[in-house]
Amino acid sequence: MNLLTDHLKGRARTQLIATALWRMSALLLVESIAIAIVFVAGHAVMERSFATLVERTSLVLRGSGGTSQRVRTTNEFLLALEQLRGRYTPWTMALTAITDRVPSGITLTALAVDQHTALRIEGRAETRESLLTYRDAIQGLSFSHDVAVPFSNLLQRERIDFSISGRVDRALVVLPSTPL
């Protein structure tokens, strides 16, 4: 370079700088293209993985969706059954207890418990003593209270058409325990 004139030296320097810049920009362009290819490939792989994950999740949800619905339906049914069971009163036990205590000389013609647990018993008593015995027997039941015989029924001594009223406490009417 020492043999060249100043003008040629300046051109050679400019040529070297331009070549270096061109090589650096080409290298930068190649690196940018390589990075872009990596990003595009990574995006494609992630998109494919996401689609596979969505597909598998959909299959699992679709497969267990029916099961979940059946479990939900069964749970709703069990809840409704439990509510019904809580409102159930074993009336057979109560009515059996009331009729088992009928003494001789008493004939029942009607026995009713309404939805408000009002008890009404009608019948015929041979004597006032048998009617009072029956009233006391009903009062002795754990689930009955406010048992009353109208005073007009107690005025007669024999052959009394009677009516007994009272209330039944549903919570105290229980099923007998059965051994397993």
Domain of residue 144 covers: 91-172
pLDDT tens-digit map of 159-170: 999 999 998 887
Do residue 95 and residue 79 come from a single domain?
no
Q: What span, in angstroms and rounded, lies between the C-alpha atoms of 167 and 158? A: 27
Q: Report how many helices (DSSP H) and strands (DSSP E) the chain contains, helices first.
A: 4, 4
Q: What CATH number did the domain enclosing 107 receive?
A: 3.30.1360.100
Cα–Cα distance, 148 to 138 (Å, whole number):
10
Q: Considering the domain boundaries, does residue 168 fall inside one?
A: yes
Segment among 2-11, 27-36, 117-126, 142-151 with least mean pLDDT: 2-11
pTM: 0.51
Residue 63: per-residue pLDDT: 67
E strands within 7-157? 106-113, 118-127, 144-148
50-to-42, 84, 92, 132, 156 alpha-carbon distances in Å: 12, 48, 64, 85, 93
